[in-house]
């Protein structure tokens, strides 16, 4: 994919998000700068608590009441009138209603809890269509049935009148996706859409998202904790740790040429790449406490090969290619040469030799 | 795996729910052996009956036909009180969701030691405390944690508490029902490592139930693939990955997400359609097609599979 002359649809500039919690302040997002390009699939990967969901809730105005943007800007460029909207300045719910649903839409993690059990599936999808497209009666019904067909639900006429409990987990997630795309958004945020599903269903939902992205011209932001899942779907991957993006690049750059020790650790802990009979790599320790100010590289305390400077100073972004940058002192020309773990070296060697790995 | 000793035998197990009109057969005549010291994987989608098999072995769900033999002794159906107590102690279970499987209102000390009150009556308080701290340190938790409540722990730590609770009974056989499905990827690695370490140290035997074949390849010695209550294929792990025969196994394998964008973006996803079989006149039989590699197939399919294997 060519990133030279892509149009930016959503831009985040030095965003800081804080939460008031029991009289203390938690610094959840620590200065993120990120551009989302029109028509791409951007995967945001990180452990629980890394701030990936919090970041995305800012795009749709769903930040919890005790959270606030302390610094930075979020600008949305996708409006039909061509004027940019500064989302970070929005105060009123009325302003958000112009964005939420019709411009940016979201799929939540658990399909079991995100549907109303007392309403038929058709009604729930119809609500969104009526609100955003102003359809009524038979036309509304037809539109909903078409969307149900689009998300791959067989016999949409019959399913229209059924309740969520009559659907399996995978089918419910399709209904949730149907509601999200019913208002024809430009950006679709998927917050761990497959974590609660079986592997076979997960693969089907990923395929569906790819198809919908084409049919509906979507820009997709895909949040997950499992690096293994995103190889299939992502054009670009951003790796988050402790409220910051520590490495971002195209999918190939992250999988084959990663540079940050945390990305190495995430990749090495995948059982798909593990060698049987040997210990699987696991990351020691826990993520830092964000109630306290983090000094230096947030991953340093868990990184056995951390440099002295990692504990002192926050590394800046080092550019590896026009699309690939990482926040680690290892990329500084003065840094000692540290070899990545064996698994990462194997991947690189296999890719250079053109051979398959993980087979 | 020479001279393997059979620890657990499942013979034609059938489990049904409901009565007459609403009768539902969850497990149809399943048979397999689990050898001493191995990790036996049971893989299938939700609703395939894999958890039901696990629960039937540990006597939570009664079997309606067939039997379960533990070290040659029947443990299904009506058994003596002594045997029941022994089975309760020797076979333990680890549950899927560490957020839901611990009593929120009990301290870790009680959660871990609860099982002991049944089988070790008259245990003194100090003995019990020392057993709890032992179990906790074995799973990599501090003994001080005993006085805390479950909500004070992260998901990975809670799963360790779940493992400590089964270890304290000094089991020989552990049924792990999707022990890592609810965990983050980085925590999964820790729990998998812990389970293999404990297996080596204590000679445990595992029945590992999951829906994700990629994890199973890493930990299991043999894998049985189950679909709608029927085991369709059983083989040593590497054989299964090298020569998957049954179309359902192939579909499961194709669904594994690989961390490799090049091959992933060209991947063709296989979807299993049971109507690809023609079982009307020629019903399938459970056949050992290679040494240790079993598959459920009819004569026509077996010929096809043999041809594939010889290539």
Do residue A272 and residue B188 have CB atoms under 8 angstroms apart? no
Looking at residue A358, its pLDDT comes to 41
Looking at residue B69, its pLDDT comes to 93
**Residue A43 contacts residue A222 (beta carbons within 8 Å):** yes
Give A134→chain B minimum CA distance, Å.
Answer: 38
Whether the pLDDT of residue A169 is over 90: the answer is no
Question: Which chain B residues touch A252 with a CB distance below 8 Å?
Answer: 261-262
Question: Which chain B residues touch A226 with a CB distance below 8 Å?
Answer: 185, 257
Do residue B259 and residue A273 have CB atoms under 8 angstroms apart? yes
How far is A238 from A247, CA to CA, in rounded Å? 6
Angle at the Cα of A308 (from A305 to A312), degrees rounded to 5?
125
- Ordered by where they begin, the domains of chain B are 6-276 (3.40.50.300)
How far is B273 from B254, CA to CA, in rounded Å? 14
Looking at residue B309, its pLDDT comes to 86
**With 0-12 CB in 10 A as exposed, 13-18 as middle and 19+ as buried, what is A219?**
buried
Whether the pLDDT of residue A353 is over 60: the answer is no
Give A250→chain B minimum CA distance, Å.
Answer: 10
Question: Which chain A residues touch B259 with a CB distance below 8 Å?
Answer: 227-228, 231, 255, 267, 270, 272-273, 358
Do residue A271 and residue B218 have CB atoms under 8 angstroms apart? yes
Least confident range of A70-74, A302-306, B50-54, B172-176: A302-306
How far is A265 from A280, CA to CA, in rounded Å? 11
Whether the pLDDT of residue A55 is over 50: the answer is yes
**With 0-12 CB in 10 A as exposed, 13-18 as middle and 19+ as buried, what is A9?**
buried
Which residue among B46, B193, B260 places its CB closest to the CB of A279?
B193
Return phi, psi of residue A48, to 5°. -60, 140
pLDDT tens, position by position, B263-290? 887 788 888 888 888 888 888 889 899 8
How far is B191 from B174, CA to CA, in rounded Å? 14
Of B67, B40, B58, B51, nearest to B17 (Cα)?
B51
Give A152→chain B minimum CA distance, Å.
Answer: 14
Whether the pLDDT of residue A245 is over 80: the answer is yes
Do residue A203 and residue B257 have CB atoms under 8 angstroms apart? yes
Looking at residue A342, its pLDDT comes to 83
Q: What is the DSSP letter of A100?
A: B
Which residue among B189, B255, B257 places its CB closest to the CB of A231?
B257
B contact residues 263-302, partner A, Cβ 8 Å cutoff:
263-265, 267, 269, 271-272
What pTM does this model have? 0.86
pLDDT tens, position by position, A127-145? 989 988 888 889 999 999 9
Query: Which single residue is written with the structure tokens 């657990």?
Result: B8
Of B189, B194, B221, B193, nearest to B208 (Cα)?
B221
Looking at residue A2, its pLDDT comes to 62
Question: Which chain B residues touch A272 with a CB distance below 8 Å?
Answer: 214, 217, 256-259
Return phi, psi of residue A20, to 5°. -90, 120
Nearest residue on chain B to A354, alpha-carbon basis: B262
Give A29→chain B minimum CA distance, Å.
Answer: 20
Looking at residue A357, its pLDDT comes to 43
pLDDT tens, position by position, B167-198? 999 999 999 998 888 788 778 888 899 999 99
Residues whose CB falls within 8 Å of the CB of residue B19, separated by 6 or more in sequence, listed in order: none
Q: B43 — contact with chain A (CB < 8 Å)?
A: no
At A359, is the pLDDT very low, low, confident or very high (cuts 50, 70, 90)? very low
β-partners of residue B34 are: B8
Nearest residue on chain A to B256, alpha-carbon basis: A199
Q: Residue range A255-282: average pLDDT?
A: 86
Residue B253 corresponds to which tokens in the numbers above?
């394998």
For an interface test with B, the pick among A222, A231, A279 (most B C-beta atoms closer than 10 Å) comes out as: A231
> Ramachandran region of residue A293, left (φ > 0), alpha (ψ -120 to 50) or beta?
beta
How many A/B residue pairs have CB atoms within 8 Å?
119
For an interface test with B, the pick among A282, A283, A299 (most B C-beta atoms closer than 10 Å) comes out as: A282
Residues whose CB falls within 8 Å of the CB of residue B200, separated by 6 or more in sequence, listed in order: none
How far is A170 from A102, CA to CA, in rounded Å? 25
Strands A24-37 and A219-224, sheet pairing: unpaired
Looking at residue A177, its pLDDT comes to 93
Nearest residue on chain B to A235, alpha-carbon basis: B261
- Residue B36 to residues B5, B94, B99, B174, Cα–Cα distance (Å): 6, 19, 31, 12
Whether the pLDDT of residue A3 is over 70: the answer is no
Nearest residue on chain B to A274, alpha-carbon basis: B218
Give B147→chain A minimum CA distance, Å.
Answer: 21
Residue B263 corresponds to which tokens in the numbers above?
């091959």
How far is A3 from B143, CA to CA, in rounded Å? 54
Which residue among B45, B188, B265 places its CB closest to the CB of A198?
B45
**Residue A320 contacts residue A328 (beta carbons within 8 Å):** no
**With 0-12 CB in 10 A as exposed, 13-18 as middle and 19+ as buried, what is A136?**
exposed
Cα dihedral sign, A335-A337-A341-A347: positive
Strands B6-17 and B39-43, sheet pairing: unpaired
Give A267→chain B minimum CA distance, Å.
Answer: 8
Question: Which chain A residues touch B260 with a CB distance below 8 Å?
Answer: 231, 255, 356-358
Question: Which chain B residues touch A358 with a CB distance below 8 Å?
Answer: 258-260
**With 0-12 CB in 10 A as exposed, 13-18 as middle and 19+ as buried, what is B275?**
exposed
Per-residue pLDDT of chain B (311 residues; tens, 9 = 90+): 456 789 999 999 999 998 878 888 899 989 999 999 999 999 988 888 888 999 999 988 899 999 999 998 899 888 888 888 888 889 999 988 888 889 999 999 999 999 888 777 778 889 999 999 999 998 988 888 899 999 888 888 899 999 999 999 999 999 999 888 878 877 888 889 999 999 999 999 999 999 888 888 888 999 999 999 999 999 999 999 999 999 999 999 988 888 888 888 778 888 888 888 888 888 888 989 988 899 999 988 899 899 888 87
Give A148→chain B minimum CA distance, Å.
Answer: 20
How far is B214 from B39, CA to CA, in rounded Å? 15
Maximum C-alpha span of chain A: 69
Which residue among B46, B190, B269 places its CB closest to the CB of A198?
B46
Q: Helices B185-202 and B155-167 meet at what angle, rounded to 10?
A: 20
How far is A312 from A335, CA to CA, in rounded Å? 14
Do residue B185 and residue A255 have CB atoms under 8 angstroms apart? no
Helix (H) or strand (E) holding A237: strand A236-241
Looking at residue A31, its pLDDT comes to 92
DSSP string, chain B: --S--EEEEEEEEEEEES-GGG-EEEEEEEEEEEETT-EEEEE--TTSSHHHHHHHHTTSS--SEEEEEETTEE-SSS--HHHHHHHHHHEEEE-S-TTTSS-TTS-HHHHHHTTHHHHSTT--HHHHHHHHHHHHHHTT--GGGGGS-GGGS-HHHHHHHHHHHHHTT--SEEEEESTTTTS-HHHHHHHHHHHHHHHHHHT-EEEEEES-HHHHHHH-SEEEEEETTEEEEEEEHHHHHHS--SHHHHHHHHHSPPS-HHHHHHPPPP---GGG---SSS--EEEEEETTEEEEE-HHHHHHHHHHHH-
Question: Which chain B residues touch A48 with a CB distance below 8 Å?
Answer: 155, 184
pLDDT tens, position by position, A209-219? 999 999 999 99
The interface predicted TM-score (ipTM) is 0.81
């Amino acid at each position: 994919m060519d990133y030279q002359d892509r149009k930016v649809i959503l831009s985040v500039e030095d965003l800081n998000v804080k939460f008031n919690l029991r009289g203390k302040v938690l610094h959840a997002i620590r200065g993120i700068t990120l551009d989302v390009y029109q028509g791409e699939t951007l995967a945001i990967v990180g452990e629980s608590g890394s701030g990936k969901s919090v970041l995305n809730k800012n795009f749709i105005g769903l930040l919890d009441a005790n959270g606030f943007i302390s610094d930075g800007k979020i600008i949305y460029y996708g409006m039909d009138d061509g004027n940019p909207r500064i989302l970070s300045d929005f105060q009123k719910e009325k302003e958000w209603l112009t964005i939420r649903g019709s411009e940016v839409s979201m799929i939540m993690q658990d399909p079991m809890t995100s549907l109303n059990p007392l309403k038929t599936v058709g009604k729930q999808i119809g609500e969104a269509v009526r609100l955003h497209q102003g359809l009524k009666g038979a036309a509304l019904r037809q539109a909903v049935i078409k969307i149900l067909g689009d998300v791959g639900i067989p016999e949409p006429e019959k399913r229209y009148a059924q309740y969520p409990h009559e659907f399996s987990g995978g089918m419910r997630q399709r209904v949730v996706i149907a509601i999200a795309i019913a208002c024809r958004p430009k950006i679709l945020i998927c917050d761990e859409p497959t974590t609660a599903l079986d592997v076979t269903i997960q693969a089907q939902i990923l395929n569906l998202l790819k198809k919908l992205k084409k049919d509906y011209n979507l820009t997709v932001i895909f949040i997950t904790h499992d690096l293994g899942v995103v190889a299939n779907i992502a054009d670009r991957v951003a790796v988050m740790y402790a409220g910051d993006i520590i490495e971002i690049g195209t999918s190939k750059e992250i999988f084959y040429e990663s540079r940050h020790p945390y990305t190495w650790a995430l990749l090495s802990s995948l059982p798909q790449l593990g060698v049987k009979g040997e210990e699987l790599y696991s990351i020691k320790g826990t993520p830092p406490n964000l109630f306290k100010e983090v000094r230096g590289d947030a991953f340093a305390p868990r990184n056995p090969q951390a440099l002295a400077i990692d504990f002192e100073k926050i590394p800046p972004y080092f550019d590896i290619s026009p699309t690939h940058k990482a926040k680690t002192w290892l990329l500084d020309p003065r840094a000692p040469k540290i070899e990545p773990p064996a698994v990462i070296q194997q991947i690189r060697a296999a890719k250079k030799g053109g051979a398959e790995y993980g087979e | 795996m020479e001279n393997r000793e059979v620890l657990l035998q499942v013979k034609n197990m059938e489990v049904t729910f409901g009565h007459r009109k609403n009768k539902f057969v969850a497990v149809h005549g399943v048979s397999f052996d689990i050898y001493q010291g191995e990790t036996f994987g049971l893989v299938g989608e939700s609703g395939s009956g894999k958890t039901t098999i696990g629960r039937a072995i540990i006597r939570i769900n009664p079997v309606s036909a067939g039997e379960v033999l533990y070290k040659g002794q029947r443990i299904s159906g009506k058994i003596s009180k002594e045997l029941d107590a022994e089975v309760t102690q020797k076979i333990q279970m680890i549950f899927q969701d560490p957020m839901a499987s611990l009593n929120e209102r009990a301290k870790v000390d009680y959660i871990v030691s609860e099982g002991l009150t049944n089988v070790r009556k008259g245990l003194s308080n100090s003995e019990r405390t020392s057993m709890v701290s032992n179990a906790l340190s074995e799973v990599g938790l501090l003994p001080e944690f005993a006085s805390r409540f479950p909500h004070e722990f992260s998901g990975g730590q809670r799963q360790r508490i779940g493992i400590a609770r089964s270890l304290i009974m000094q089991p020989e056989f552990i049924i792990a029902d999707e022990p890592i499905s609810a965990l983050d990827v980085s925590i999964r690695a820790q729990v998998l490592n812990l389970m293999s370490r404990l297996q080596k140290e204590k000679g445990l035997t595992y029945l590992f139930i999951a829906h994700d074949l990629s994890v199973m390849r890493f930990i299991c010695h043999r894998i049985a693939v189950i679909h709608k209550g029927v085991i369709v294929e059983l083989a040593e792990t590497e054989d299964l990955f090298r020569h998957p025969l049954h179309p359902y196994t192939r579909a499961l394998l194709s669904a594994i997400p690989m961390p490799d964008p090049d091959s992933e973006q060209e991947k063709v996803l296989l979807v299993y359609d049971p109507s690809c079989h023609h079982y009307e006149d020629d019903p399938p039989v459970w056949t050992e097609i290679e040494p240790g590699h079993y598959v459920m197939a009819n004569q026509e399919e077996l010929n096809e599979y043999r041809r594939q294997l010889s290539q």
